[in-house]
Amino acid sequence: MEILGIKFGKADIVKQFLDSRLTGFYFSVLQEGKVGNDDTLSLISRDSNNVTVADITRLYARETHDLELLHRAVQVEALPTGWRDYFQQQIDKFKK
């Protein structure tokens, strides 16, 4: 059971999470602390490859045939190496 499965007590939680397509958004924490109701969040940068969290979820969960988006996804430096490697493997399958 993966970490999310342990946390939620459901072995299939990752599948449910991906199937819902409601993966939300992600951001980096530069300094730990508490966020209050009146605090604001500011976008300080955006990746120039124009790949959204929804795009990554689609590529990972079901739409691995979108070659153009796969090429853009492997260029997103903010993605973990394992994700970029996975997307590169999907691109490599097209070459065979």
Residue 37 in domain: no
56 inside domain: yes
Q: Determine the average pLDDT of the residues in 62-90.
A: 90
Mean pLDDT for the stretch of residues 26-32: 73
Domain that holds residue 62: 3-28+45-95
In a domain, 69, yes or no: yes
Say which residue, 77 or 5, is predicted with more confidence: 77
| Residue 27 reports pLDDT greater than 70 | no
Is 70 part of a structural domain of the chain?
yes
Q: Is residue 40 part of a domain?
A: no
Q: How many domains does the chain fold into? A: 1
Is 35 part of a structural domain of the chain? no
Pairwise pLDDT comparison (58 vs 27), residue with the higher score? 58
Q: How far apart are alpha carbons 45 and 32 in whole angstroms?
A: 19
The residues, ordered by sequence, that sit 6+ positions from 96 with a Cβ below 8 Å of its Cβ are none
User: Does residue 36 form part of some domain?
Assistant: no
pTM to 2 decimals? 0.65
> How far is the C-alpha of 85 from the C-alpha of 60, rounded, in Å?
12
User: In the prediction, which pLDDT does 81 show?
Assistant: 92
CA–CA gap between residue 33 and residue 91 (Å, rounded)? 40
